[in-house]
Amino acid sequence: MSFTSLTFVGFLLIVLALYWLARRQAWQNIILLAASYIFYGWLNPWYGVLLGLSSAADFFIALGIARYRNRSRALLTLSLLLNLGVLAFFKYYDFFNVGLVAQLAKVGVHADVFLVSILLPAGLSFYTLRKLAYILDVSRGAFQPVENFVDFSLYVSFFPQIVAGPIERIQKLLPQIQLPRTWKPEFFSAAWPLLVMGVFKKVVVADTISAVVDRIFGMQSPSKALVLAAVLGFTLQILADFSGYTDMARGIALLFGFETSENFNKPYLALTPSDFWNRWHITLSNFLRDYIFFPLRRALLKKRTLPAWLVQAIPPLVTMFVSGLWHGAGWTYLLWGIYYGVLIVIYQSSGIQVNWQQSNKLKVLIAWLVMFSLIVFGWFLFRAPSIAWAGQVLFQAAWLTKPQDAIIALMMLAMAAVYSFPLILKMLLDRFSKPGSWWLAAYFAVITIVTIVYINSSNPDFIYFQF
Amino acid sequence: MSSFRRYLLVLCLLAIATSVYIPLKWGLPYPKAPGPKLGASLVAQYKNELNKSGADLALIGDSVLFHGVIPDQMAALTGRKIYKFGVPGTASAAWYLMLKNVIAAAAHKPRYLVVTFRDTILTVPDYRVNGKYLNLVSRFATSKEPLFIQRSFIQQMSPVEQLADQYLPIYGSRLLARDKLNYFIRYSLPAVFGCNAKCTDKANIIVFRDNNLGQNSLTNAAASAEAYLYTPDRLDFSRQLDQSFLPEMVRIARENKIQLILVRTKHLNAASEKSESAALKNYIQALKTYAAQNNVIVLDFAYDKRLTRKLYYDNYHTTMAGAVVFTKILSEALLPIINK
């Protein structure tokens, strides 16, 4: 069930009505939990079963950790094995399996990829991190285990966030789950701009741009000019897609009276790689910082035998490697993660830290241009279908293989420019106009009209390439 | 809430303004009839072609037929004149219109009509009718096609969508509005450098030719579009039948004394008959039962071992060598039917 589908709108209205009619907080939580499982199991009921079983396991493991402190290490290991095992099985099984199938094919054994492939349950990476953060906090005594199974299950499965985050920490969501909630008009006032903006970003910007971007990245040997234009398009697409989804998730959560975390803070205005990760997918960055970067750094600092440069370099490299691994099962994601790790190390060693500021505006402009180019190059690695493909584009492809490449590159650039304009305008309006002003009202009304123009029918509008 | 009130006010003003402007500017009635406005028709031209061919056996289908059957070879093997109407990008809505407006309406009607299909496509009336497909389907339509509009569009809309389609011109005319916006966005910058819309479209075709695209990319794109045919609803034959064009196609063929032959083609998404889902098995069984009850012949090549992997250039389309093999297999299967 997609947030932008009519089915979801119907589902949301029914759940909202039931939720606010049930005035008791316990009933509200049960309704939300049931809705979350219906939402999650809509695509495949087995996903719901997996979610339920893994939530129950972590609920009881956390209680065990608090009760039997002498066995907490073993229980923590069990939880890590369970969570990371499930994640590795579903997320990386296909990755290695396809490799295995390819090797078997070379020796004449034709295994059927279609039969043995395993569908990755949507949102598994997101809710696994939420559960891991909880277990780690309980094991180090930073958080008392939740004793109410409904509350804990709701924290894990809260449907606005389950598919693509934000990766909310239990310290923020649980107190809200446990408090009584009554309807306030402020919920709607805060929610509607997020919902309007989120749908616009997804339906108008991301989905439209992706049609051309996907085609260029689907080419066997495109020219550099085409890829450059496509990467710029993808830079816009991924921001619009992901931040649009987050906007909708936050807006929907607000309609139920929950305040959730921001995930994006003008990431393309970052001046350094660390700054970028403080602005992009913020909840993931926070998780990686708190559970990988800081503990690793502390551990390395204790080992006084290591040279200082290694103590500085290892934590960002490992953290960004894990980030790449988390993003997907593919060598390109790993390379992308390592690329950011290396960038952070280079910036740090040259004295440009996360909060680097300059009074000289020209220097700031140059720093921004450099960082933006590095971000765009990062997306090239991220979106490339394979490392071999990326290498071919970088080292072998011509800038233009035929004159028509330039035309398509220009078309792609025009699309990127036009579709990024509303997002830039919104940024300027947020900065220079008052909240609730007529300017903002007009902006939201215009983008609503544009969204109506871009709404697709219920069936796929897909144009097969041959056609 | 004052910000929301302001937003609502401006939105209402814009909705009213567009509701006045769009019908005036594009000459549309208000309220408009639900469903889209059809594009240019080529029915007369197709009828002429069919009459001239004097074909005894006509074949209709999509790109699978276009690439997979060689008419001259089939004519030689069957001893009959063949008319192939394989149009890439078409599906059951277009095939229904081809039968109704071209084959059954031509002065010379073929005795046999072969419709090539895969899996559930015959009973999914809204597949390949939206966006740019609409212009393609319109080629086979006349000025009034109430059944096509009803089954492919109105039937798929919720009551809210139907109301918006009729009374909110910005929604009802969104395809046209989007085309105009896209025209501006896509063609403006190339035009600055001397390449007009026609030149940009040509560049699009040259750059995105199939042989420039990676095999995985083509396969994934096709599979993602075809996924629409395999949802639980679409796999329920009895639910889909009355909403589809199939009963009408059967009726038109029967009334025009045309023997309808449905040919299920092979694709490589499912490796073997054993791996076919139970739902699809049930669907195909129900289709065959329905066909038998209505004097329609079904030839099923979905798991024919003679069509090996090597004969396909992607999961759906045969190579030239594959076309030779499939034409031979199909002709051999048709011979006992047409020699009866």
Residue B106: its pLDDT value, please?
Answer: 93
Q: How many CB pairs under 8 A join A and B?
A: 182
B14–chain A nearest CA distance, Å:
8
Per-residue pLDDT averaged across B52-62, rounded? 94
Average pLDDT over all residues of chain B: 91
pLDDT, tens digit, 9 for 90 and up, residues B165-221: 999 999 988 888 888 888 888 898 999 999 998 999 899 888 887 667 777 777 777
Q: Which residues of A touch B160 (CB under 8 A)?
A: 6
Residue B157: its pLDDT value, please?
Answer: 87
Pairwise CB contact (< 8 Å): A220 & B269: no
B144–chain A nearest CA distance, Å:
22
The conformational region for residue B36 under phi > 0 = left, psi -120 to 50 = alpha, else beta, is beta
Pairwise CB contact (< 8 Å): A463 & B207: no
Q: Which of A112, A220, A440 sits opposite B214 (nearest CB)?
A: A220
- C-alpha torsion B329→B334→B336→B338, nearest 10: -150
Q: Is B268 on the interface with A (CB under 8 A)?
A: no
Report residue B33's pLDDT band, with 50, 70 and 90 as the boundaries: confident
| Residue of chain A minimizing CA distance to B170 | A453
Q: What residues of chain A score a pLDDT lower than 70?
A: 93-120, 457-467
- Residue A210's closest CA among A242, A227, A233, A226? A233
- Residue B92's closest CA among B67, B111, B119? B119
Pairwise CB contact (< 8 Å): A459 & B195: no
Chain A, residues 267-296, CB within 8 A of chain B, namely: none
Residue A336: its pLDDT value, please?
Answer: 95
Indicate the SS3 state at residue B272. coil
Helix, strand, coil percentages, rounded to 5, for chain A:
75, 0, 25
Pairwise CB contact (< 8 Å): A112 & B269: no
Residue B211: its pLDDT value, please?
Answer: 67
Pairwise CB contact (< 8 Å): B269 & A413: no
Pairwise CB contact (< 8 Å): A214 & B217: yes
Pairwise CB contact (< 8 Å): B131 & A413: no
Q: Which residues of B touch A115 (CB under 8 A)?
A: 271, 275
Tell me the C-alpha distance between A52 and A214, whole Å. Answer: 35
Chain B, residues 283-322, CB within 8 A of chain A, namely: none
Whether the link from the prior residue into A160 is cis, omega within 30° of 0, is: no
Looking at the DSSP bridge assignments, the partners of residue B263 are B116, B299
Q: Which of A214, A453, A466 sits opposite B210 (nearest CB)?
A: A466
Q: Which residues of A touch B89 (CB under 8 A)?
A: 463-464, 466-467
A204–chain B nearest CA distance, Å:
10
| Residue of chain A minimizing CA distance to B17 | A449
pLDDT, tens digit, 9 for 90 and up, residues A5-19: 888 899 999 999 999
Give CA separation, A400 vs A225, A281, B204, in Å.
6, 35, 15
Residue B233 main-chain phi, psi, to 5 deg = -65, -45
Indicate the SS3 state at residue A398. coil
Residue B2: its pLDDT value, please?
Answer: 84
Return the higher-pLDDT residue of B109 and B275: B109
Domains of chain B: 2-38+157-209 (no CATH), 43-142+216-338 (3.40.50.1110)
Tell me the C-alpha distance between A168 and A316, whole Å. Answer: 22
Whether A93 and A118 have beta carbons less than 8 Å apart is answered as: yes
Pairwise CB contact (< 8 Å): B221 & A454: no
Which of A183, A194, A404 to probe by mutation at the B interface, max B CB count within 10 Å? Answer: A404
Looking at the DSSP bridge assignments, the partners of residue B116 are B263
Q: Is B229 on the interface with A (CB under 8 A)?
A: no
DSSP tag of A140? T
Q: Is A109 on the interface with B (CB under 8 A)?
A: no
Window from A56-70, A185-199, B262-276, B306-320 with minimum mean pLDDT: B262-276
**Beta strands across the sheet bearing B297-300:** B82-86, B57-61, B112-117, B259-264, B297-300
A281–chain B nearest CA distance, Å:
28
Other beta carbons within 10 Å of A425: 14
Chain A, residues 205-224, CB within 8 A of chain B, namely: 214-215, 217-222
DSSP tag of B85? E
Q: Is A108 on the interface with B (CB under 8 A)?
A: no
Angle between helical axes of A149-157 and A45-67 (0-180°, round to 10) = 130
Q: Which residues of B touch A460 (CB under 8 A)?
A: 130, 224-225, 228
Cα–Cα–Cα angle for A196, A198, A200, rounded to 5 degrees: 70
Q: Is B277 on the interface with A (CB under 8 A)?
A: no
Pairwise CB contact (< 8 Å): A459 & B130: yes
Q: Which residues of B touch A454 (CB under 8 A)?
A: 174, 178
Q: Which residues of A touch B270 (CB under 8 A)?
A: 114
Residues of A designated as active site: 327
Return the higher-pLDDT residue of B238 and A117: B238
DSSP tag of B100? I
| Residue of chain A minimizing CA distance to B1 | A189
Q: Which residues of A touch B127 (CB under 8 A)?
A: 459
Pairwise CB contact (< 8 Å): B89 & A467: yes
pLDDT, tens digit, 9 for 90 and up, residues A129-141: 999 999 999 998 8
Residue A94: its pLDDT value, please?
Answer: 63
Indicate the SS3 state at residue B262. strand
Q: Is A432 on the interface with B (CB under 8 A)?
A: no
Return the higher-pLDDT residue of B160 and A255: A255
Pairwise CB contact (< 8 Å): B130 & A411: no
Q: Is A184 on the interface with B (CB under 8 A)?
A: no
Q: Which residues of B touch A447 (CB under 8 A)?
A: none
Percent of chain B with pLDDT over 90: 64
Residue B91: its pLDDT value, please?
Answer: 94
Q: Which residues of B touch A410 (CB under 8 A)?
A: 189-190, 193, 195
A142–chain B nearest CA distance, Å:
39
